[in-house]
Amino acid sequence: MKPQEYIDKLPDDRKDTFIELLNSIRNGLPEGFEECISYGMIGFVVPHSLYPKGYHCDPKLPLPFLSIASQKNSINIYHMGLYADMNLHDWFVEKYKAMVKTKLDMGKSCIRFKINQEIPLDLIQELSGKMTPQDWIQLYEKAFRK
């Protein structure tokens, strides 16, 4: 499946919101990440050309960084940098609280947005640009590769 096929299959009531969020991510990401379908979601990965070792769970796969998915009750962003870098996590939480009235629904790396919820697109774009592929590789090596 290709990213556009994923988008084409979305329910009409969330397609526009999903595309806006996806475009915020695309516009923010530094060069070097590659867009693909990863784990059934639209993902942005560090390709093997930049990181030949691949993902430690399955080295045949490129190193995942950020994904966006339409789930049953929400649109979710999975940002591995938020999980691995507490400073980035804390920055995002504080900025979100200052910009958005609704409570942040977040797991370790997952940000969930309910349909019809206010989504801080500018903040998502800024978050997407906080880490280059090289930054992510260094952090990943330090945090996950032993």
Return the CATH number at 132.
3.90.1150.200
Helix (H) or strand (E) holding 127: helix 121-128
Tokens of 96: 């979100």
Cα–Cα dist 12/15, whole Å: 5
Q: What is the pLDDT of residue 62?
A: 97
- In three-state secondary structure terms, 144 is coil
Mean pLDDT of 139-144: 89
Confidence of residue 145 (pLDDT cuts 50, 70, 90): low
Task: Report the domain count for the chain.
Answer: 1
Domain that holds residue 68: 3-143
In the prediction, which pLDDT does 118 show?
86
